[in-house]
Amino acid sequence: MTLLLLVLLVLPAGPVAAQQTHIDAFRERVRDVPGLPVDRVQLEVNSSVRLERISAVSADAQGNLYVLHRPTTGDPVVVLDPTGHFLRSWGEGMYAIPHGIRVDPGGHVWTVDSNTSKVYEFSALGEILREIQVAVPTEGAEFCGATDIAFGGDDHVFVADGYCNGRVIEFDASGRQIREWGSRGTGPNQFVVPHGVAVGPDGALYVGDRENGRLQRFTQTGQFLGLWTYAGQLFSVAFSPTRDLYISVSLGGDPEEAYVIQIDPATGEMIGKVEAFGHELAFSPDGSLIPSTVENELILFRPRG
């Protein structure tokens, strides 16, 4: 019995040990990736509204910031000008867990609730234009809904869904579901929490497969194009105004060891990094990176020069 116990103690912990080895190898790789030439800026918010647990930030063509946060009371959507001055807010009582926010090419504002799995479309002034209810398979689960949204051609939208369903859904301009693909798992075209989604300049759909630590690529009709595996948790994916590809990765679920990484869109290789946690990534028109942190500070990384 004693010998058996000793054997069990020295054997590696199977998948857990393999995952840690993978993270350690990635840690060595990312250490050699050069830092990006940016300055970290904590934006001073001139508002009576106190931002709490900022889940996502997006920007419109004028550089105004649309912040989705998780306040104890008050409006979850807060709009600021580029210098942090309050413009307007809305949404009190509409959300259970505010999760994602994006501004579409026409200036409309879209939000995603990861509890109710409701997707809302608003005008820039906060007038509600559309509500899409994405099916939630497990009643009573806190995080079980959709996570992010991206915009394709012909006013179609793609929803990453998300915490329980493990799929991508396409809706047309009227809000009617066109198609869906994906399931929960670790193979190609499978996800364990598709947490981020973006349409690239090549028209391909990029999906951040969070718990698998990888980025998958599809056509807009759901045809699998390939994947790149990183490590830890891959939270978000976004393209800059100069059409550069970025992802956010957290090693071991630790926000203190997290990176926003610029990726070569042809090879998936890492070519630059910022040491920061990014729950959802976005960019302002001047190229400033906005990696929402689920903390109370509004952080930007502005390109030097």
CATH number at residue 230: 2.120.10.30
DSSP SS3 for 7: helix
Q: Write down the pLDDT at residue 162.
A: 85
- Report yes or no: 193 and 209 within 8 Å, Cβ to Cβ: yes
Residue 21 lies in a domain: no
* Residue 6 pLDDT > 70: no
Round to whole Å and give the CA distance between 305 and 128.
39
Q: Write down the pLDDT at residue 9.
A: 37
- Report yes or no: 211 and 161 within 8 Å, Cβ to Cβ: no
pLDDT band at 11 (very low <50, low <70, confident <90, very high): very low
Range of the domain at 58: 35-303
Is the pLDDT higher at 12 or at 246? 246
Residue 113 lies in a domain: yes
Round to whole Å and give the CA distance between 298 and 79.
12
Round to whole Å and give the CA distance between 185 and 193.
9
Give the helix, strand, coil percentages of the chain, each rounded to 5. Answer: 10, 45, 45
Residue 124 lies in a domain: yes
Q: Which of 38, 25, 94 is nearest to 278 (CA)?
A: 38
Q: Which of 104, 67, 57, 72 is nearest to 89 (CA)?
A: 67
Residue 67 lies in a domain: yes
Residue 14 DSSP symbol: T
Round to whole Å and give the CA distance between 41 and 15.
39
Q: Which of 227, 245, 251, 247 is nearest to 236 (CA)?
A: 247
Round to whole Å and give the CA distance between 273 and 254.
17
Round to whole Å and give the CA distance between 141 and 135.
13
Q: Write down the pLDDT at residue 12.
A: 47
- Which two tokens mark 279? 């729950």
Residue 12 lies in a domain: no
Residue 37 backbone dihedrals phi, psi, to 5 degrees = -80, 80
What is the domain count for the chain?
A: 1
Residue 96 lies in a domain: yes
* Residue 262 pLDDT > 70: yes
Mean pLDDT lowest among 7-16, 75-84, 107-116, 150-159: 7-16
203-242 confidence digits (pLDDT tens): 999 999 999 999 999 999 999 999 999 999 999 999 999 9
Residue 13 lies in a domain: no
Average pLDDT over residues 87-107: 97
Round to whole Å and give the CA distance between 251 and 28.
12
Residue 128 lies in a domain: yes
pLDDT band at 105 (very low <50, low <70, confident <90, very high): very high
